[in-house]
């Protein structure tokens, strides 16, 4: 039997909303607070503001049973013992995280405190934020001993967020005393004792009753750093393979073989070694910058992180040059762009390499018709339809009469295109793939000129391999 904890989640963005429904799913009572009234109304009427597998079912299952949505922060705080702070921590001008939303909610929490509370940092925050929160509570007159601050970083990925939450690789709890750590242990008990996985309606995944989740207790500072260091390390892995891909390309080696050969070493592992257009999204770019800033503040020279960022930015330049080199000139060219989201299986376009590449191509005089299975509406906000930008309802419609197809996002459906249909739609059979979704030999057989990342390009007999061009 779950020891039910009353949980208030502040913020109904990606992390907050997923955490709120998942806490309800494992048996707790949850009040999710957001100051955006329209969003709260939408959620209360059964709307789902983000594209995420299993979220609609779980919201349907728990709305007004395990989880309620409100704009009333004081009500959430008064009713609950654990208060998860999951508000935005956007990137400030210096690269540091902007913590003004965190400070604002902490001040409001302080005004509503009516008994012992555990404040939990769920948003990604720099080290020592736990101390700032403590100080802020004291400044607002909350007595020491009536609250604790815990860091419980979230490692979920967009698109698979619900699965990541309920079947985590690890749960990290950074608490500076046992009382607070025990509240978090109780909250996650259904995942760590396996009782959740024994339920007939639990979400299937890698964990089970016999192999439940692992919970690691550390100091608050260590937990804050675990989050930044994990994301920065994954970004580093991607930049590393991207740097190697550029070397591979210049010596006619194949980055997919190289990554497979490296990944078989169990110390390295095969994940996050996919070369391509580079990383984007709401976390990696922001967290690499924020972690670099944290190191600088402490007088630690962590130049490596700056290199990770630079390699990532260069990757888009290199891709742009590939498009130019395959098409000779860009002015007046009609290009089909497959993908707008920062990765497949999400409608999120924040810091999306696809959007940046399209902007550069348009600035160079090309016209672009884009298709994405989920992100078109969001993309229209930053790339409005115009003479040089339009949107299509399918990959084939985007390719109609285009000079080339560009693959910019790794959606599964882009890896299964009907090449005969694509060929018929296109003016020239040219595919420039920023996500390595096809094998060059296969594309050559299908009659395409195929340019990808870190692998020799495949040319059809008619197109022939161009001499190495020097681009200014």
Least distance CB 259 / ligand UDX (angstroms):
8
- Residue 331 φ/ψ region, left for φ over 0, alpha for ψ in the -120 to 50 degree band, beta for the rest: beta
> CB neighbours of 445 closer than 8 A, spacing ≥ 6?
none
To which H or E segment does residue 259 belong? helix 255-263
78-110 per-residue burial string, b: 16 or more CB within 10 A, e: under 16: ebbebbbbbbbbebeeebbbbbebbeebbebbb
Measured between alpha carbons, how far is 242 from 434 in angstroms, rounded to an integer? 11
CB nearer to ligand UDX: pick between 28 and 227: 227
Least distance CB 320 / ligand UDX (angstroms):
17
For the chain, state the CA radius of gyration: 24
80 is catalytic: no
Give the largest CA-CA distance in the chain: 78
Least distance CB 372 / ligand UDX (angstroms):
13
Look at residues 351, 346, 340, 388 and name the one whose alpha carbon lies nearest to residue 366.
388
The first and second tokens of residue 382, run together, are: 């930053």
Measured between alpha carbons, how far is 337 from 402 in angstroms, rounded to an integer? 10
Least distance CB 156 / ligand UDX (angstroms):
5
Least distance CB 318 / ligand UDX (angstroms):
14
CB nearer to ligand UDX: pick between 218 and 388: 218
CB nearer to ligand UDX: pick between 333 and 343: 343
Measured between alpha carbons, how far is 53 from 165 in angstroms, rounded to an integer? 12
CB nearer to ligand UDX: pick between 276 and 454: 276
Look at residues 376, 372, 459, 462 and name the one whose alpha carbon lies nearest to residue 408.
372
CB nearer to ligand UDX: pick between 25 and 256: 256
What is the rounded (10 degree) CA torsion for 290, 411, 345, 310? 0
- Residue 192 φ/ψ region, left for φ over 0, alpha for ψ in the -120 to 50 degree band, beta for the rest: alpha
The first and second tokens of residue 422, run together, are: 């694509």
Least distance CB 375 / ligand UDX (angstroms):
12
Least distance CB 331 / ligand UDX (angstroms):
29
The first and second tokens of residue 190, run together, are: 């259904």
- Catalytic residue (choose from 32, 80, 136, 283): 283
Least distance CB 283 / ligand UDX (angstroms):
3
CB 147 within 8 A of CB 116: yes
From the number of C-beta atoms within 10 Å of its C-beta (0-12, 13-18, 19+), residue 182 rates as middle
DSSP state of 143: P
CB nearer to ligand UDX: pick between 25 and 154: 154
Measured between alpha carbons, how far is 395 from 417 in angstroms, rounded to an integer? 8
Measured between alpha carbons, how far is 4 from 77 in angstroms, rounded to an integer? 16
Contacting residues toward ligand UDX, per CB under 6 A: 154-158, 231, 234, 238, 272-274, 276, 279-281, 283-284, 342-343
Least distance CB 132 / ligand UDX (angstroms):
22
Measured between alpha carbons, how far is 312 from 335 in angstroms, rounded to an integer? 23
Measured between alpha carbons, how far is 229 from 233 in angstroms, rounded to an integer? 6
Catalytic residues: 283
């Amino acid at each position: 039997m779950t020891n039910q904890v009353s949980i208030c989640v502040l913020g109904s963005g990606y992390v907050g909303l997923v955490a709120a429904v998942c806490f309800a799913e494992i048996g707790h009572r949850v009040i999710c607070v957001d100051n955006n009234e329209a969003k709260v109304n939408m959620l209360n009427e059964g709307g789902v503001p983000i594209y995420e597998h299993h979220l609609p079912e779980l919201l349907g299952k728990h709305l007004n049973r395990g989880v309620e949505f409100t704009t009333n922060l004081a009500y959430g705080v008064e009713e609950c013992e654990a208060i998860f702070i999951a508000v935005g921590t956007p990137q400030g001008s210096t690269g540091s995280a902007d913590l003004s939303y965190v400070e604002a909610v902490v001040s409001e929490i302080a005004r509503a405190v009516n008994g012992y509370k555990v404040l939990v940092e769920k948003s990604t925050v720099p080290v020592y934020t736990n101390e700032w929160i403590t100080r802020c509570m004291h400044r607002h007159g909350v007595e020491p001993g009536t609250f604790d601050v815990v860091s419980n970083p979230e490692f979920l990925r967009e698109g698979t967020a619900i699965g990541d939450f309920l079947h985590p690789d690890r749960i990290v709890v950074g608490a500076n005393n046992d009382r607070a750590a025990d509240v978090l242990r109780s909250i996650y008990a259904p995942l760590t004792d396996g009782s959740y996985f024994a339920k007939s309606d639990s979400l299937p995944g890698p964990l089970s009753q016999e192999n439940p989740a692992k919970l690691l207790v550390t100091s608050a500072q260590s937990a804050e750093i675990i989050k930044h260091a994990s994301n920065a390390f994954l970004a580093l892995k991607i930049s590393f393979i991207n740097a190697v891909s550029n070397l591979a390309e210049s010596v006619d080696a194949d980055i997919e073989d190289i990554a497979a050969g490296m990944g078989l070493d169990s110390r390295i592992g095969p994940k996050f070694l996919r070369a391509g257009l580079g990383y984007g999204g709401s976390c990696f770019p922001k967290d690499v910058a924020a972690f670099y800033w944290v190191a600088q503040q402490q007088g630690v020279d962590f130049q490596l992180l700056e290199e990770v960022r630079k390699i990532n930015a260069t990757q888009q330049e290199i891709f742009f040059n590939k498009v130019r080199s395959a098409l000779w000139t860009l002015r007046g060219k009609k290009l089909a762009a497959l993908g707008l989201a920062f990765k497949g299986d999400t409608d999120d376009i924040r810091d999306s390499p696809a959007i940046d590449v399209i902007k550069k191509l348009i600035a160079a005089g090309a016209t672009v018709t884009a298709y994405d299975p989920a992100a078109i509406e969001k993309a229209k906000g930053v790339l409005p339809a115009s003479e040089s930008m339009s949107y299509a309802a399918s990959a084939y419609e985007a390719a109609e009469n285009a000079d080339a197809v560009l693959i910019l996002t790794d959606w599964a459906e882009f890896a299964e295109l009907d090449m005969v249909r694509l060929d018929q739609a296109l003016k020239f059979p040219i595919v420039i793939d920023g996500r390595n979704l096809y094998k060059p030999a296969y594309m050559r057989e299908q009659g395409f000129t195929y340019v990808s990342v870190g692998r020799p390009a495949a040319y059809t007999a008619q197109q022939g391999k161009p001499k190495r061009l020097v681009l200014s």
